[in-house]
Structure 1
């Protein structure tokens, strides 16, 4: 049963791409909208998903100078964006006056939302989906985010203890509540084996074991680590589900494809791009791997792999260690260690009974701890406490 809060919430997100934060909001918003609404700063697939799901959504397009400010942006680019940022914040503030709360769902949304909240005289909540370290962001962007949160946010909702700890270490002083992401359990219910077999033929997979990595193509996501592990596993194929989202990731994606075309990997690595049939694709694989070389804020695909009853191997660090109990619900390996990853994959393939035990235990644990209703309840309680304060 969906819990609802009598609080008109304006969810603000800068992106219309389907990243982890946007998928989170797609699951969270139905508990609040209507009367709440999602406001995006660009049009794209996420906007279409919201509308298809019957979630009230609107777009106020951000100026080009604002959209170009990246995680690693320097002060000059940021300064050029200020005039457009002020105009954008004013437009958001005008809309926010019809709501009780602005809920910023990204760092760019925090910047815009901080200004808009002051203009509209509305409280601001920031949902932190990132680990604020220099492995992910420039020092300037970290300082800006923490300063804005300390100055303007009433509450911060973090998606993991790792995200919370990084925020506090960076100087955060706002009250922080940890609410882990929730995943739609029903999407990962048992699927028709004949459909799975047909999909395998469609993708041109040969007989033999297959591992799956489900993530956008980005250096810190570590797809290159899997490719090097595959070089030690000549009988194993891999599917890579996801694509580069940002311009600086395009070169990395090209490098991955070049490496996969080399003789030792040729024909064994399948790049599938973005897909809507992830639950079905996970049924194709013998092992789901997670290879991030920097701390993961949460690790949504780890939970999805567990819900799909696949044995999961994840990188030790960040939110992943809050999801996987090493040796009980999955396996953890050091970040960036291709040999350790290859050894873990080989171990699971050679010990199918243990792999099944891990998969079953992982599924039960994920269903209990990471449901959508548990996530909605956590956010509901946090906002209710804010409303009563």
Structure 2
């Protein structure tokens, strides 16, 4: 069996475009390596995005829609979840073993926790395993047992951890000397969004997948206080994001809240949107309201880069991104009155909005893709290697490989 060589072999367990997948695509667009191969569970949003990039090939285990199961390994619906996840992990282990045997690379870059855990159970043949840690490995996120096992496996097998914030790095299983803090990049398109002038009606937006800990319900409660208790009605709001990981019940709960409290004329739920730049271009204020400490807060960084006034949760990654009262406002999202008062203040003060937008955009310069991609290349040891490798050829699941999509150097699509 012929072995193909690439500069870096990337594993990402899902093709659903969530925050980590968007960050990965941004890195690949910045050409972090001459030849890259990405393996995921099946064709979907991620493969659609990277299939357009020169020098990038991909393979998937199956065809059809990508799994809607979250990367969380917590204990909800315990017995059914354990059986399902155990079966899935066995299948992934067999699949990953085959890919490792067919594709040679000095570095394996794992972009999700689940992919990393599978890789830690396999023989890597002396290759470095770099885990990009985008979540906090704590019992609050994963459950006590899953957090313990995850940390032990990664500590035993990973060579290096890239943490997306200092907050995340405090939960890294590896010592500081083998943990690098590199925030997620913000695409250049966000920095080009014009500053929005004063309008008769101000627009508030909340971006992010629908999930209870992401705080959409807390946001709605604060809007209710803003309208009924504070008396500020000079606004309209949009909630942008879909229930990507099977959390449709939470989506229904949000819709019921809007209907029950007659917020339909003020609040719109837009679902998942590709290219949120168009959403930010028409809004004045971005709200982030995660109720658990956000590992990083990519939408917060995007809001700053867009020159928008940002109100964010006062925990986790946003504490590192925002200077309170200078580049943004920090508030407790679980306190509806505190969040509503922050909104009222920003909505009423055009000078404050402009200052936050300008200072925020300036501070967001450290998240530019060129800078972040250079830091990631350094950790992956790609700056030390100038040798080019031929791109990986097509693979198929039945023959021990998987379906592959590539594009040539002129950007034309090729599907083998």
Report if aligned partners of 1:7, 1:101 keep a CA contact under 8 Å in 2: no
Q: 1:366 to 1:122 in 2, by over 3 A?
A: same
Partner of 2:237: 238
Which has more helix, going by share of residues? 1
- Give the structure-2-normalised TM-score: 0.81
Q: Is the 8 Å Cα contact of residues 136 and 168 (structure 2) preserved in structure 1? A: yes
Give distance in 2, aligned partners of 1:110 and 1:104. Answer: 6
Q: Do the aligned partners of residues 282 and 87 (structure 1) sit closer, same or farther apart at CA in structure 2, a change above 3 Å counting?
A: same
Following superposition, the deviation at residue 55 of structure 1 comes to 5.1
Task: Give the alignment partner of residue 152 of structure 1, picking from 145, 152, 157.
Answer: 157
CA distance in 1, matches of 2:90, 2:33: 31
Deviation at 1:17, TM superposition (A): 0.7
Native 8 Å contact 1:62 1:88 kept in 2 = no
Shift of 1:84: 2.2
Indicate the residue corresponding to 1:142 in structure 2.
147
Aligned position for 1:202: none
CA positional deviation for 1:267: 1.8
Aligned length: 366
Which residue of 2 is the match for residue 223 of structure 1? 216
Give the match for residue 379 of structure 2: 382
Q: Secondary structure of the residue that 2:168 maps to in structure 1?
A: helix
Deviation at 1:109, TM superposition (A): 1.1
In structure 1, C-alpha distance between the alignment counterparts of 2:267 and 2:105, rounded to whole Å? 48
Residues 1:72 and 2:74 aligned together: yes
Q: Does 1:179 align with 2:179?
A: no
Taking the aligned partners of 1:385 and 1:51, their CA distance within structure 2 comes to 22
> Matched residue of 1:265: which SS?
coil
CA RMSD of aligned residues (A): 2.9
Worse-superposed segment, 349-358 or 118-127: 118-127
Any runs of at least 4 consecutive aligned residues in structure 1 with deviations exceeding 3 A, and if so which? 66-70, 73-76, 78-83, 171-174, 190-193, 385-388
Deviation digits for residues 207-245 of structure 1 (CA, Å, limit 9, x no counterpart): 622210010110000001110111122313210111111
CA distance change for structure 1 residues 33 and 21 in 2, over 3 Å: closer, same or farther? same
Alignment of 1:299-314 (within 5 A): 299-314=297-312
Match of 1:10 in 2: 9
2:161–2:180: 8 Å Cα contact kept in structure 1? Answer: yes
Take 1:125 and 1:240, find their aligned partners in 2: how far apart are those partners?
35
| Partner-residue secondary structure (3-state), 1:136 | helix
Q: How does 1:260-339 map to 2 (within 5 A)?
A: 260-339=258-337
Cα distance change, pair 192–309 in 1 and its aligned pair in 2 (3 A): closer
Which structure 2 residue ranges, 5 or more long, are not aligned? Answer: 228-232, 386-416
Which residue does the alignment assign to 1:209? 202
Please give the alpha-carbon distance, in whole angstroms, between the structure 2 residues aligned to 1:113 and 1:119: 8
| 1:261 to partner: Cα distance | 1.4
Confirm or deny: 8 A CA contact 1:220 1:292 kept in the other structure. yes
Displacement, 1:79?
Answer: 4.2
Distance in 2 (CA, whole Å) between partners of 1:60 and 1:309 is 38
Deviation by residue 1:91-141 (Cα, 9 ceiling, x = unmatched) = 122134x2111101001110222234x244422110100012222212222
Report SS of the residue matched to 1:366: helix
Matches within 5 A, 1:38-187: 38-54=38-54, 56-61=56-61, 71-73=73-75, 74=78, 76-77=82-83, 78-81=85-88, 83-96=90-103, 98-116=104-122, 118-168=123-173, 175-187=178-190
TM-score, with length taken from structure 1: 0.86
Helix, strand or coil at the partner of 1:130: coil
Q: Distance in 1 between matches of 2:326 and 2:88?
A: 49
Deviation, 1:153, is: 0.5
Structure 1 unmatched ranges of 5 or more: 1-5, 198-205
Shift in alpha-carbon separation, 1:322–1:70, aligned structure 2, 3 A: closer
In structure 2, the residue matched to 1:3 is none
d(CA) in 1 for partners of 2:270, 2:88: 36
Looking at both structures, which has the greater relative contact order when contacts are Cα pairs under 8 Å and sequence separation is at least 6?
Answer: 2
Residues 222 and 291 in structure 1, CA contact (< 8 A), matched pair in contact too: yes
Q: Cα 1:162–1:211, aligned 2, differ >3 Å: closer, same or farther?
A: same
Structure 2 CA distance, aligned partners of 1:13 and 1:26?
A: 11
2:195 and 2:125 map into 1 onto residues whose CA distance is 52
